[in-house]
Amino acid sequence: MPLALYALTAGAFGIGVTEFVIMGLLIEVGADLGVSTSAAGLLISGYALGVVAGAPLLTTLTANWPRKTTLLVLMGIFTIGNLACALAPSYGLLMGARVLTAFAHGTFFGVGSVVATGLVAPDRRASAIAIMFTGLTVATVLGVPFGTWLGQHLGWRATFWAVTLVGVVALAIIALAVPRDRAAPEASDWRADFRAMGRLPVLLGLLTTVLGFAGVFTVFTYIAPILTGITGFGIDAVSPILLVFGGGLVIGNLLGGRAADRRLVPALLGSFAALAVVLLLMAVTIESRIAAVLFVGLLGAAGFATVPPLQLWVLEKAEGAGKSLASSFNIAAFNLGNALGAWVGGVALDTGGLHAVTWVAVIFPIAALAVALLALRLERARSAADAGPRAAEA
C-alpha cells in the first residue's frame, strides 16, 4: 500500500478521536461549564448533526477543487475547530466549535475514500478504504482511552489541545505524502450530482448503511449498563472489555476490505448475516461473562466488517463526479445509523429494560440484508430489461 494511503489514515485517526473522546469526558465538561451531564451529552448529538449537514455542503462546495487541496482544507477546518474547542469559554461556543469540527468529517472520509481507491489497483480498492478507516478504529482502541485519561488528569481542554496537535501533524503528513491530482478534477454540476444521488440504487445503498450501523449502536450506546446491569461486571471492567470491542473493530475492518476485494456482493451480504447472528447470540448469552466478552469483540468485528463493502458499494452505484458526494453521504448515513440506533435502544430500554435492547438490535442487520437483496434484485431486473433491446437490435 502506498505511503499516501497512511497519510489518510493519520487524518482519520484524528477525526475518530475527536468524535468519540467526548463520551468519556461528559462529567468533566459539564462540571467545568456549569451544565448537566445530559446537556453535555448533546455535544455528541451536535457533532453527529454537523456531520450530516456538512457532508453534502462541503462536498458540493469543493467538488471542482483538486482533491489534495480539499483534504488539506478539511484538515485545516478540523484543526481550527479543535483549537476552538480547547479555548471555548462557554457551553454554547463549545457546541458551535464541535459542529464546525464535524463539518470536515463526512467530506474528509468521502473524498478520502475516492482518493484511496485511486491510489491502488482496482482489485485492492476495498482494502485501501479499509486501511484509511483503520485510523478510525485505532482511534477507538488507543486514542479515545488515552484522550479520556488525559482529560481526567489534566482537564478536558488538554485533550482538545492534544487533538489539535494531531490535526497539525496529519495536515503536514497529507501535504507531504498525498500526490497532487494527475489530471484536472472532473467537472461537476451540483444539480447533476444531487440528481444522481436520487437514483434508486444509491438511495438503497445509503439506506442499507443506516440500517446496518443502527444495529451496532443500538447495543454499543448502552454497552456499559448492559455489562454491569445484566452480565454483572463491575464498572472497572467496562474499559478493558471495550478494548476487546476496539480490537474487533480493527480486525473486522481489515477482513471486510479483503473480502470485498475478492467478491463485493458476497462480502456485503455475508457481513450483515454475520452481524445478525452475533447480535442474536449476544442477546441469548449476555448473562454469561465469558460469552459477553467474546460477543463484544465479535460485535466490533462484524460491525466494522460491513464498512469497506458498504463504502465501495455506494461508490460503484454513483456516477462520474458524483462519487465524492455519494461517498460523503454514505459517511453521513453511518452517523444517522448511530443516532437511530442510540434512539431506538433508548426507547427499548425505557419500555422493556436492558434485555430488550439486545433483542431489538437484531432487527436492524436483518432489515439491512433485506434492503441489499432488494437492491440486487432490482439491479438484475434492470440489467435483464436493458439486455432485451440490445439483443433485438443485434
pLDDT of residue 127: 77
Phi and psi at residue 140, to the nearest 5°:
-70, -40
**Residue 69, pLDDT above cutoff 80:** yes
Mean pLDDT of the 47-60 span: 80
CATH number at residue 84: 1.20.1250.20
Mean pLDDT of the 240-260 span: 81
| Same domain, yes or no: 108 and 248 | no
How many Å is the Cα radius of gyration of the chain? 21
| Same domain, yes or no: 218 and 361 | yes
The 10s digit of each residue's pLDDT in 302-323 is 888 888 887 777 777 665 546 6
Residue 389 resides in a domain: no
**Residue 185, pLDDT above cutoff 70:** no
CA proximity to 134, closest of 263, 277, 256, 45: 256
Q: Cβ neighbours of residue 380 under 8 Å, at least 6 residues apart?
A: none
Of 92-101, 175-184, 344-353, the one with minimum mean pLDDT is 175-184
pLDDT of residue 121: 77
- Residue with more model confidence, 386 or 262: 262
Mean pLDDT of the 108-122 span: 78
Contact present, 152 and 28 (Cβ < 8 Å)? yes
Residue 255 resides in a domain: yes
Total structural domains within the chain: 2
- Residue with more model confidence, 3 or 216: 216
Q: Of 178, 198, 223, which residue constitutes the final position of a domain?
A: 178
Q: Domain containing 166: what range?
A: 1-178
pLDDT of residue 6: 81
Residue 362 resides in a domain: yes
pTM: 0.72
Cα separation, 71 vs 87, in Å, equals 24
